[in-house]
Structure 1
Amino acid sequence: MQADVTRETFWTIGPVGKAAFYYLAAVALAVFAYGTYRRFARYAAGEDDWFDRLDDLPGRVLRAARIVASNRNQYDRDLYAGVMHSFILWGFLTLLIGTTILGIDLDFWRPVTGTSFFVGDFYLSYSFVMDAMGLLFVVGVGMAIYRRYTEREGRLWGKHTSLEDDAFVWTLFVLGVGGYVLEAFRIVGSAEFAAFERVSFVGYFLAGIFAEAGLTVGMAESLYTVTWWSHAILAFAFIAAIPYAKPFHMISSFANVVTRDEKAGVRLPGVPADAGPDDIGYGSIEDFSWRHILDHDACTKCGRCSSVCPAKASGRDLDPRDVILDLKQYREDLDAGRTEEVEIVADGGNSVVAAESMESCMSCMACMDACPVDIEHVSEFTQMNRRLTETGQMDEQVQDAMMNVFQNGNTFGDPARKRPEWTEDLDFEVPDAREEDVEFLWYVGEYPSYDERNRRVARSLATLLERANVSYGILYEDEQHDGNDVRRVGEEGLFEMLVEDNTEAFASCTFEKVVTTDPHSMNTFRNEYPEMSEFDAPVFHYTQVIENLVETGRLGLDGTELDYTATYHDPCHLGRMNDVYEAPRELIRATGVELAEMPRNRADSFCCGGGGGGLWMDHDEHTKPSEERLREALEDTDAGSDVEKFVVACPMCGTMYEDGRKTGDFEDDIEVVDVAELLCEALAAKEGSTVEAPVDSDADGDTSPAAAD
């Protein structure tokens, strides 16, 4: 009885058909293997990558398997897509594994042992699992079809959308449904609805429908043969086409996740010491690293990167997906001889990517955070910016800023002696880290040093440190631009000079930790300086340091000082790049302010528009990112128009939002305030004063607010 609980795999096909089947299978696998080999041979021909992508390969594969199996990247920002992809992935893998098991039984187990394990309880369990997971697969593909063609989800359509995308999704659907139709024909025609076939519940259900519609045993046999061959040929064509079309992302995207740099974008690739001007940046397709070529092939055209890009949202000439796919198409056309070689990036003229597109990038990494296959847009874009720099095509305003940095160490063009002028309005002396040992070397940054609005932030932070009796000091005129955004606009040589100068200045001081006002400074000191120098000190953003002071009671706040509503903007370099989310929020709550979160917060935060050199450039935008963010604060938060203050923790963000208040006509609706300023406001309220920040120390080391400046 157990032996009868099974099915005939090649029912109605016959020996000749079986031989033809194996021949076609061998051809399909050979075409697949050759195409896959060509793909990976192309990666091997690419330039070496700056970072080791294959260290601890077993560990990388295991971590990538967990990421892919969990579909966690697909669920980010889009529950529907996460469920859809989970159904497709797990259904597809189950069907693949099930087909492999059947092949093992047919082609290895039976010839060797003379028996089959494809019977009895194993067959029943196998049939149930395959039907259940196959159904999930069909549902998942159906969800994809619904979203693409019925909802017409905008991010799925673009200049690179083609028949290839239609063929891919519909082939999967036909294969999935076709399997059940075959099963139904077999059940109707071979066993007159054997009771055990009920475990194949989808096929059994369809068989019942077909039988009720008048399908006879003879008709079922005839239809089975035709459908079986159609199904087999379509499956073989799909397998053979995988390396040559969109389905290859099933392989390339996994390889991309395996070889990802967990700090990609946070730290950027360097330039070889012996590189000449023609060797810096991406000028031709041969310059691309093998990993960035793999990036192009891993792209699934899902459009997640484009849907979160602030440059695209504001109307700038940048679509991250199109840049990646333009590069892929150009490479494939060039390799196939379908196009002439042109510049990868140039200002006007004939090039793959326009200079304006690269200048539009804010280096906020929203695209990379949203990408489910770990494409490294920012790293590639920086390489193209380097090419623009080396060929003298950098934006004129950025050129002026870079010249100011080169000559004066800051983008304002002011002399170094003016850098510490912000300290003159304080009622206490800010310690000089060059002259005394300190716990915290405070890197103030250029905007808090030179910009009048942000000098208030520097004085507020100095007051907090002084009030808490923290051991700190600054570099005074020896401080220079940190270089974070200098590097991101493509000025690698200037960045290297700044690393050398700042590292030398740090080395002249005795300190334990570095604290920065600006998250951009924190990011480059923490993640990039150690790659290029002997600098290895712990680096913190000031909100992390002040949070500890509040928690230990050194600032004396009790959470009742202020009683209005505010919202908080996560700076890209602080949050998305360095995972500092809670410290600023805890400080805001510590003042008594009610914190109303914006819909796009933490890793999903929307860039202010100042990163990647945006602070130094004028762009033609229909809505500035800062204006859109302020609108969101006032209209889309739960508190709505009750939000009185827009809290930031980055001087560049503060600058951009002050500008957005004016250009967006929000000056009467909301006030922009830094976390440090908010804390000083709370201290002033607690003490019944209206001070901005300065404090005096008494003889016992305790502090109290001083008169307002």
Structure 2
Amino acid sequence: MNTLAQADVARETYWGITSVEYAVFYFLAFVTVAVFTYGVYRRFARYAQGDGDSLPRLDELQRRVVSAAKIVLSNEKQFNRDLYGGLMHSFILWGFLTLFIATSILMVEEYGAQKLLHASFWNGDFYLAYQFIVDAMGLLFVVGIGMALYRRYWVRNHRLWDRHTSLEDDLFIWTLFALGIGGFLLEGLRVYSAGIPDHETVSFVAYGMALGFDAIGLATLGPEQAGLNGAGLNVENLHWLAWWTHSLIAFFFIAWIPYAKPFHMLSSFANVVTRDEKAGKRLPNVPSDLDATNAESIDDFTWKELLDQDACTKCGRCSSVCPAKASDRPLDPRNVILDLKSYREDLEAGGEDQPIVAHGGTSVIDAETMESCMACMACMDACPVEIEHLKSFTRLNRQLTDQGDIDSSMQDVFQNVMQNGNTFGDSPRNRGDWTEELEFDVADAREEEVDYLWYVGDFPSYDERNKQVARSLATILKEADVSFGILFDDEKFDGNDIRRVGEEFLYIELAGHHVETWEDCEFDTIVCTDPHSYNTFKNEYPEVDFEEFADDPMMPFEYDEQWNKDGEVEVYHWTQAVEELVQDGRLDLTGTELDYTVTYHDPCHLGRYNDEYEAPRELITATGCTLDEMPRNRSNSFCCGGGGGGLWMDFEEEPKPSEERIREALEDTDAGSDVEKFVVACPMCMTMYEDGRKTGGYEDEIEIVDIAELIVEAIGKTEEAKVEVAAD
């Protein structure tokens, strides 16, 4: 083999490239950067045309950037429920960033150290360490790309294939693969041509390739004759070809970034930086201006919602956890976000205007799609780039409400709430009737001071099955010798679910009524039966600026402040309050031995919305029950189907979310069919699962109970709390 051994522990950066080619290379680099810069400018200029966001997005910017960097670099969201995907993305990200940094170091060496300082640091030990790290991380990069190719094309992971899957997805992954493999090929050819010097063993991948070239006897002319040397097959010609091919692919990729899927490398980080850490659990307020529109056009969307659309990587994680999609409802969270993006880009290219959301096939999003959303927030929890689906979905629902395109059953609910203050349409005077069967009186919090102002809620007040739960909880509080009271006919629906269906102004009316009523009461803590009430009182009522609406003659309140802005009033779900009573020794559950094998369903608004997972479990185990966890539990819990108005709407779905969840309890838990009781902590869940138990044919296999009913049985107060319903 004819070679010229490399004497120094370093290498020539532009080996084999003539001065003319050098000039061409930098001209192309300039064009590439210009095209990239213009594309990024266009993207961010478009965001500036979006509507303003009502929530702070750039406050505490340094903290936001540091937090986002931690999330992105650790890939913690990618590892969520998907070890393979987490490793794959980590290898690609860390490898790509390392190669980017390595290229930046070369620029500093070439134009800073050599041209300006007439010195060099890219030699000796630094060079050896550089080469080793670049090879190691470059190998991880290629392995990660290989894992992605395997998942996409061999396994054909269902998440990755849908109507928005396109040629850009193929081009993106194969371009990265070509860059990774091309870099190693280029380096291997250089090491071989240099005579495979011993110090290049640190470049272990390239060194191994060089040994392979040596084994097949690839011809070489030596480094002094580098460049294109005739048509012969030799390492110098191959190196020249590989160098230019690699460079042109890199230039194409950089220039392409702002115009297609690779832009998520920038937009995703920006999206994480500007995220709302309370996204979903609180929704943006609407202005009091009745002329304001919600989603009449794409320009009604905020700049953050436009950024959400561009941040989507089509990974399908949101779709894979969506209970509506799993039940064959026409909702796919990914497609809603991408449909909006596609429509926006089509308009920018000269396409025709369309209604954003409506019934029928002429709109961007069909109304039935949005009616299918359960507001469970599973999509947001699963999204690795912090897309706030629920905010865009609520905007679309508000537009449907403005247009009058609301499901007839939901219109009935709105009417019931407007006329009677509850979703049942029953008389407000009957709201406290459930207390009459108790052996003790429940205080009126409007007339006497109490420790706990208990917001009972619609279903525990009017639904016969949930009245048993209310009586159980009242018995528990009485047994703990707690001072508590309710509002009787001054309590109305909390507004959480009708807000998520889009009826914002009715929600404001309800919120104003409640905070005004609470201001006239003396209490320490608000305790809620329903996680939906708990969420809206804790996270949403404090966000309302009631002064905007107080002078409106249509609003039934005069309250003109921002309630509980500083969190001086504590809001608890009842399991949190009772757990404290147990810990304080005011409710004695020691020695209770309920001999049941049970499983527990995490309600979305208690768990995923508010991260409360332990209080319910501690109460269950304190009763002596054996708790067998569902495979999908805590933040991965599967919605009952009742949220977002689902409780009141009829869907053609198979199976119902409630039926699927009960099947999971009886078939997929460790105890399987030995599970005796399906435990809930939400009145809506109780209603949905009692229905699912009947429609799914599980009536003889499992019982639906609330945690409160277990506790009452454990303390021996069942007869005092439970009044059998005639239908039972």
Whether the TM-score (by the shorter chain) exceeds 0.5 is yes
1:192 aligned partner, one-letter code = G
User: Which residue matches 2:345?
Assistant: 332
Show CA shifts across 1:129-175 (max 9, x none): 00001111111111111111111110011000011001101110110
In the alignment, which of 87, 93, 98 is matched to residue 89 of structure 1?
Answer: 93
Report the secondary structure of 1:8's partner residue: coil
Question: Within 5 Å, which residues of 2 pair with 1:106-255?
Answer: 106-189=110-193, 191-218=194-221, 219-255=234-270
Give me the whole-angstrom Cα distance separating, in 1, the residues matched to 2:323 and 2:364.
Answer: 22
Structure 1 contact 559–589 (Cα < 8 Å) conserved: no
Cα distance change on mapping 1:598 and 1:411 into 2, 3 Å? same
- Asked if structure 2 preserves the Cα contact closer than 8 Å seen for 1:280 and 1:386, the reply is no
Q: How far apart, CA to CA, are the structure 1 residues paired with 2:185 and 2:91?
A: 20
Equivalent position of 2:308 in the other structure: 295
In the TM superposition, 1:129-528 aligns within 5 A as 129-189=133-193, 191-218=194-221, 219-276=234-291, 279-337=292-350, 339-528=351-540
Q: How many angstroms apart in 1 are the aligned matches of 2:154 and 2:333?
A: 25
Superposed displacement of residue 281, structure 1: 1.7
CA distance in 2, matches of 1:559, 1:50: 52
Q: Does 1:595 align with 2:618?
A: no
- Pairwise CA distance, 1:507: 1.1
Task: List alignment gaps of at least 5 residues for structure 1.
Answer: 696-708
1:691 aligns with 2:719: yes
Equivalent AA in structure 1 for residue 308 of structure 2: D
Deviation at 1:553, TM superposition (A): 2.7
AA at the equivalent of 2:402: E
Query: Is the CA contact 2:439–2:720 (under 8 Å) kept in the aligned structure 1?
Result: no
Structure 2 length-normalised TM: 0.93
Q: CA deviation at 1:116?
A: 1.4
Q: Which residue of 1 aligns with 2:82?
A: 78
CA offset at residue 692 of structure 1?
5.0
Q: Distance in 1 between matches of 2:634 and 2:583?
A: 22
For 2:268, give the aligned amino acid. S
Partner of 2:553: none
Once the two structures are superposed, residues 100-144 of structure 1 have per-residue CA deviations (whole angstroms, 9 ceiling, x without a partner) of: 000111122211121211111110010000000111111111111
Q: Determine the C-alpha separation between the residues in 2 that align with 1:612 and 1:512.
A: 30
- Where does the alignment leave 5 or more consecutive residues of structure 2 unmatched? 222-233, 547-561
- Shifted more, 135-144 versus 108-117: the winner is 108-117
Deviation at 1:188, TM superposition (A): 1.0
Shift of 1:372: 0.3
Matched AA of 2:157: E
CA RMSD of superposed structures (Å): 1.4
| One of 23, 32, 35 as aligned partner of 2:39 | 35
Q: Is the CA contact 2:57–2:276 (under 8 Å) kept in the aligned structure 1?
A: yes
What displacement does 1:690 show? 5.0
Which of 571, 578, 581 is the equivalent residue of 2:603?
571
Partner of 1:698: none
SS in 2 for 1:103: helix
Counterpart position of 2:639: 607
Contact kept in structure 2, 1:463 and 1:694, CA below 8 Å? no
- Cα distance in 2 for partners of 1:349, 1:629 equals 33
1:559 Cα deviation from its structure 2 partner = 4.6
How much does 1:408 deviate? 0.4
Alpha-carbon separation, structure 2, partners of 1:652 and 1:449:
12
CA distance in structure 1 between the partners assigned to 2:151 and 2:177 by the alignment: 14
Residues 347-395 of structure 1: CA distance to partner in whole angstroms, max 9, x if unpaired? 1141000000000000000000000001111110011000000111011
Deviations 1:499-539 (A, max 9, x none): 11111111110011100000000000000000115321210
Residue 670 (structure 2) pairs with residue 642 (structure 1): no
Q: Percent identity?
A: 65
- Asked if 2 retains the 8 angstrom alpha-carbon contact of 1:382 and 1:490, the reply is yes
Equivalent residue, structure 1, for 2:691:
659
| In structure 1, distance between residues paired with 2:440 and 2:216 | 93
What is the CA distance between 1:34 and its match in structure 2? 0.4
Matched residue count? 688
Cα distance in structure 1, aligned partners of 2:602 and 2:219: 66
Per-residue CA deviation, residues 70-97 of structure 1 (Å, 9 max, x unaligned), is 1101000101111111111110000000
Alignment of 1:675-690 (within 5 A): 675-684=707-716
Q: Which moved more, 1:655-664 or 1:675-684?
A: 675-684
Contact 2:318 2:334 (C-alpha < 8 Å) held by counterparts:
yes
8 Å CA contact 2:6, 2:195 repeated in 1: no
CA shift digits 1:7-36 (9 cap, x unpaired): 111111111111111111111011000000
Deviation at 1:478, TM superposition (A): 0.4
Q: After the TM superposition, which parts of structure 1 deviate over 4 Å for at least 4 consecutive aligned residues? A: none
- Structure 2 distance, partners of 1:303, 1:611, is 22
Q: Distance in 2 between matches of 1:167 and 1:553?
A: 64
Deviations 1:574-630 (A, max 9, x none): 000001100000000001000000010000000000000000100110110000000
CA gap 1:26/1:242 in 2 versus in 1, 3 angstroms: same
Q: Aligned partners of 1:137 and 1:657: how far apart in 2?
A: 47
Quote the Cα distance in structure 1 between the aligned partners of 2:156 and 2:630: 27
Residue pair 1:2, 1:120 contacting (<8 A) in 2 also: no
1:477-512 Cα offsets, whole Å, 9 max, x none, are 100000000100000010010011111111110011
